[in-house]
Protein backbone atom coordinates (compact mmCIF):
# COMPACT_ATOMS: atom_id res chain seq x y z
CA UNK A 1 0.00 0.00 0.00
CA UNK A 2 1.27 3.46 -0.88
CA UNK A 3 2.61 5.31 2.15
CA UNK A 4 1.39 8.88 1.84
CA UNK A 5 -1.01 11.28 3.51
CA UNK A 6 -4.60 11.34 2.21
CA UNK A 7 -5.49 13.99 -0.35
CA UNK A 8 -8.41 16.33 -0.95
CA UNK A 9 -11.25 14.40 -2.54
CA UNK A 10 -10.27 11.07 -1.00
CA UNK A 11 -12.20 9.26 1.71
CA UNK A 12 -10.89 9.88 5.20
CA UNK A 13 -9.14 6.68 6.36
CA UNK A 14 -10.80 4.46 8.97
CA UNK A 15 -9.14 4.70 12.37
CA UNK A 16 -9.88 3.89 15.99
CA UNK A 17 -8.86 6.71 18.32
CA UNK A 18 -8.69 7.21 22.07
CA UNK A 19 -10.27 10.50 23.13
CA UNK A 20 -11.49 12.45 26.13
CA UNK A 21 -14.96 11.13 25.23
CA UNK A 22 -13.80 7.51 25.09
CA UNK A 23 -12.84 5.35 22.14
CA UNK A 24 -14.16 6.59 18.81
CA UNK A 25 -14.07 5.29 15.26
CA UNK A 26 -13.43 7.83 12.51
CA UNK A 27 -15.09 8.67 10.24
CA UNK A 28 -17.86 6.21 11.24
CA UNK A 29 -18.87 7.99 14.45
CA UNK A 30 -19.50 11.19 12.48
CA UNK A 31 -21.52 9.45 9.75
CA UNK A 32 -23.88 11.87 8.03
CA UNK A 33 -22.08 14.87 9.50
CA UNK A 34 -19.25 17.15 8.50
CA UNK A 35 -16.36 17.27 10.94
CA UNK A 36 -13.11 19.12 11.44
CA UNK A 37 -10.09 17.21 12.72
CA UNK A 38 -7.44 19.62 13.91
CA UNK A 39 -4.08 19.05 15.56
CA UNK A 40 -2.36 21.31 18.08
CA UNK A 41 1.30 21.17 19.14
CA UNK A 42 0.73 20.46 22.85
CA UNK A 43 -1.55 20.82 25.85
CA UNK A 44 -0.84 23.57 28.38
CA UNK A 45 0.60 25.96 25.77
CA UNK A 46 -0.67 29.53 25.32
CA UNK A 47 -1.43 29.64 21.60
CA UNK A 48 -3.21 26.28 21.72
CA UNK A 49 -5.25 27.44 24.70
CA UNK A 50 -6.47 30.49 22.77
CA UNK A 51 -7.35 28.20 19.86
CA UNK A 52 -9.43 25.81 21.94
CA UNK A 53 -11.34 28.68 23.51
CA UNK A 54 -11.95 30.15 20.04
CA UNK A 55 -13.17 26.83 18.67
CA UNK A 56 -15.46 26.21 21.64
CA UNK A 57 -16.96 29.70 21.38
CA UNK A 58 -17.91 28.92 17.77
CA UNK A 59 -18.99 25.34 18.41
CA UNK A 60 -22.73 26.20 18.32
CA UNK A 61 -22.23 27.82 14.91
CA UNK A 62 -20.43 24.74 13.59
CA UNK A 63 -23.20 22.52 14.92
CA UNK A 64 -25.78 24.60 13.05
CA UNK A 65 -23.86 23.59 9.92
CA UNK A 66 -24.05 19.90 10.95
CA UNK A 67 -20.31 20.03 11.62
CA UNK A 68 -18.55 18.47 14.60
CA UNK A 69 -15.06 19.17 15.96
CA UNK A 70 -12.33 16.85 17.20
CA UNK A 71 -8.85 17.90 18.35
CA UNK A 72 -5.58 15.95 18.50
CA UNK A 73 -2.09 16.20 19.92
CA UNK A 74 0.68 13.84 20.96
CA UNK A 75 -0.31 13.94 24.61
CA UNK A 76 -1.83 11.32 26.88
CA UNK A 77 -5.56 11.46 27.52
CA UNK A 78 -4.80 12.32 31.17
CA UNK A 79 -3.03 15.48 30.01
CA UNK A 80 -6.00 16.39 27.81
CA UNK A 81 -8.36 15.94 30.76
CA UNK A 82 -6.23 18.07 33.09
CA UNK A 83 -5.92 20.78 30.45
CA UNK A 84 -9.68 20.68 29.87
CA UNK A 85 -10.20 21.13 33.61
CA UNK A 86 -7.67 23.98 33.75
CA UNK A 87 -9.46 25.85 30.94
CA UNK A 88 -12.81 25.36 32.66
CA UNK A 89 -11.53 26.45 36.08
CA UNK A 90 -9.43 29.42 34.98
CA UNK A 91 -11.10 30.65 31.80
CA UNK A 92 -14.67 29.49 32.49
CA UNK A 93 -14.91 27.74 29.12
CA UNK A 94 -16.05 24.12 28.93
CA UNK A 95 -14.47 22.33 25.96
CA UNK A 96 -17.33 20.13 24.77
CA UNK A 97 -15.73 18.41 21.78
CA UNK A 98 -13.42 15.36 22.07
CA UNK A 99 -9.62 15.49 21.95
CA UNK A 100 -7.62 12.58 20.57
CA UNK A 101 -4.66 11.23 22.53
CA UNK A 102 -2.10 10.23 19.90
CA UNK A 103 1.15 8.29 20.36
CA UNK A 104 2.38 9.73 17.07
CA UNK A 105 1.05 7.09 14.68
CA UNK A 106 -2.05 9.02 13.64
CA UNK A 107 -0.13 12.27 13.22
CA UNK A 108 2.49 10.59 11.06
CA UNK A 109 -0.14 8.96 8.86
CA UNK A 110 -1.91 12.28 8.29
CA UNK A 111 1.20 14.43 7.86
CA UNK A 112 0.74 16.39 11.07
CA UNK A 113 4.42 16.28 12.06
CA UNK A 114 6.89 18.58 10.34
CA UNK A 115 10.33 16.94 10.12
CA UNK A 116 12.03 20.20 11.06
CA UNK A 117 9.86 20.91 14.10
CA UNK A 118 10.64 18.02 16.43
CA UNK A 119 7.95 15.58 17.55
CA UNK A 120 5.12 18.04 18.17
CA UNK A 121 2.33 18.33 15.64
CA UNK A 122 1.89 21.39 13.47
CA UNK A 123 -1.48 23.18 13.43
CA UNK A 124 -3.16 21.03 10.79
CA UNK A 125 -6.81 21.09 9.79
CA UNK A 126 -8.76 18.45 7.87
CA UNK A 127 -12.33 19.34 6.88
CA UNK A 128 -14.37 16.20 6.10
CA UNK A 129 -17.86 16.29 4.62
CA UNK A 130 -20.95 14.22 5.39
CA UNK A 131 -19.89 11.52 2.93
CA UNK A 132 -16.49 11.15 4.68
CA UNK A 133 -14.68 12.89 1.81
CA UNK A 134 -11.75 15.19 2.65
CA UNK A 135 -12.77 18.62 1.35
CA UNK A 136 -9.95 20.86 2.59
CA UNK A 137 -6.53 20.54 4.22
CA UNK A 138 -4.85 23.52 5.87
CA UNK A 139 -1.49 23.68 7.65
CA UNK A 140 -0.26 26.42 9.96
CA UNK A 141 3.18 26.73 11.58
CA UNK A 142 3.46 26.19 15.32
CA UNK A 143 3.96 29.89 15.99
CA UNK A 144 0.75 31.05 14.26
CA UNK A 145 -2.71 30.57 15.74
CA UNK A 146 -5.52 29.74 13.34
CA UNK A 147 -8.34 31.99 12.12
CA UNK A 148 -11.44 30.11 13.26
CA UNK A 149 -13.86 32.48 11.56
CA UNK A 150 -12.18 31.45 8.29
CA UNK A 151 -12.69 27.75 9.06
CA UNK A 152 -16.35 28.44 9.77
CA UNK A 153 -16.58 30.39 6.49
CA UNK A 154 -14.98 27.49 4.62
CA UNK A 155 -17.52 24.96 5.87
CA UNK A 156 -20.45 27.27 5.15
CA UNK A 157 -19.15 28.16 1.68
CA UNK A 158 -18.48 24.56 0.66
CA UNK A 159 -21.93 23.47 1.80
CA UNK A 160 -23.54 26.25 -0.26
CA UNK A 161 -21.35 25.39 -3.26
CA UNK A 162 -22.53 21.77 -3.03
CA UNK A 163 -26.19 22.65 -2.60
CA UNK A 164 -26.42 25.28 -5.33
CA UNK A 165 -23.77 23.90 -7.72
CA UNK A 166 -21.77 27.12 -7.76
CA UNK A 167 -18.28 28.37 -6.92
CA UNK A 168 -17.46 30.89 -4.22
CA UNK A 169 -15.45 34.05 -4.95
CA UNK A 170 -12.50 35.33 -2.92
CA UNK A 171 -13.40 36.59 0.54
CA UNK A 172 -17.03 35.46 0.13
CA UNK A 173 -19.44 36.82 1.28
CA UNK A 174 -17.53 40.11 1.03
CA UNK A 175 -15.98 39.87 -2.40
CA UNK A 176 -14.59 43.08 -3.90
CA UNK A 177 -16.24 42.48 -7.30
CA UNK A 178 -19.54 40.70 -6.69
CA UNK A 179 -20.20 41.04 -2.96
CA UNK A 180 -22.11 38.08 -1.55
CA UNK A 181 -23.12 36.69 -4.96
CA UNK A 182 -21.84 33.31 -6.18
CA UNK A 183 -20.15 32.26 -9.42
CA UNK A 184 -22.00 30.24 -12.03
CA UNK A 185 -19.95 27.35 -13.49
CA UNK A 186 -18.48 28.42 -16.84
CA UNK A 187 -20.03 27.29 -20.10
CA UNK A 188 -18.48 24.44 -22.05
CA UNK A 189 -19.83 25.35 -25.51
CA UNK A 190 -20.92 28.39 -27.54
CA UNK A 191 -24.66 27.84 -27.09
CA UNK A 192 -24.52 27.59 -23.30
CA UNK A 193 -22.08 30.50 -23.14
CA UNK A 194 -24.57 32.77 -24.93
CA UNK A 195 -27.41 31.48 -22.76
CA UNK A 196 -25.59 32.07 -19.48
CA UNK A 197 -24.42 35.52 -20.53
CA UNK A 198 -28.01 36.50 -21.34
CA UNK A 199 -29.43 35.02 -18.12
CA UNK A 200 -26.92 36.04 -15.44
CA UNK A 201 -25.06 39.16 -14.37
CA UNK A 202 -21.57 38.87 -15.78
CA UNK A 203 -18.24 40.43 -16.70
CA UNK A 204 -18.03 38.11 -19.69
CA UNK A 205 -19.39 34.70 -20.77
CA UNK A 206 -16.83 32.91 -18.59
CA UNK A 207 -17.51 35.08 -15.51
CA UNK A 208 -21.21 34.92 -14.71
CA UNK A 209 -22.61 35.30 -11.22
CA UNK A 210 -25.92 35.34 -9.38
CA UNK A 211 -27.63 35.72 -6.01
CA UNK A 212 -27.98 32.74 -3.72
CA UNK A 213 -31.25 30.91 -4.17
CA UNK A 214 -31.85 30.66 -0.45
CA UNK A 215 -30.30 33.41 1.65
CA UNK A 216 -30.31 32.75 5.39
The enclosing domain of 170 has a CATH number of 3.30.1020.10
Does residue 141 share a domain with residue 174? no
Q: Is residue 79 domain-shared with residue 186, that is, in the same domain?
A: no
Whether residues 176 and 206 share a domain: the answer is yes
Tell me, yes or no, whether 140 and 178 share the same domain.
no
Range of the domain at 190: 165-216
Domain membership flag for residue 53: yes
Do residues 171 and 138 both lie within one domain? no
pLDDT recorded at residue 215: 56
For position 1, what pLDDT does the model report? 38
Does residue 104 sit within a domain? Answer: yes
Q: Same domain for 113 and 185?
A: no
Give pLDDT, residue 119: 74
In a domain, 9, yes or no: no
48 counts as catalytic? yes
- Whichever domain contains 135, its CATH number is 3.40.30.10
For residue 78, what pLDDT is reported?
Answer: 97
Q: Do 35 and 141 share a domain, yes or no?
A: yes
User: HEC states along the chain?
Assistant: CCCCCCCCCCECCCEEEEECCEEEEECHHHCCCEEEEEECCCCCCHHHHHHHHHHHHHHHHHHHCCEEEEEEECCCHHHHHHHHHHHHHHHCCCCCCCEEECCCHHHHHHCCECCCCCCCECEEEEEECCCCEEEEEEEECCCCCCCHHHHHHHHHHHHHHHHHCCECCCCCCCECCCECCEECCCCCCHHHHHHHHHHCEEEECCEEEECCCCCC
Name the nearest CA neighbour of 164 among 110, 101, 210: 210
Catalytic residue among 48, 72, 74, 113: 48
Task: Clarify whether residues 136 and 45 are in a common domain.
Answer: yes
Q: Are residues 128 and 170 in the same domain?
A: no
pLDDT of residue 175: 98
Mean pLDDT by 10 residues, the chain (216 residues): 80 97 98 97 95 98 98 96 98 98 92 77 94 96 92 98 97 97 94 94 96 73
Supply the pTM of this predicted model.
0.92
Number of domains, the chain: 2
Amino acid sequence: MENRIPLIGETFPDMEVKTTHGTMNLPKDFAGKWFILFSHPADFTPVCTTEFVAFQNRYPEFRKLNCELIGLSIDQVYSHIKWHDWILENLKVDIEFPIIADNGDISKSLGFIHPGKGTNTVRAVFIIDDTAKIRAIVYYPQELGRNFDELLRMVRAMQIADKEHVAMPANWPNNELIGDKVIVPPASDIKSAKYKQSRYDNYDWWFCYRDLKNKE
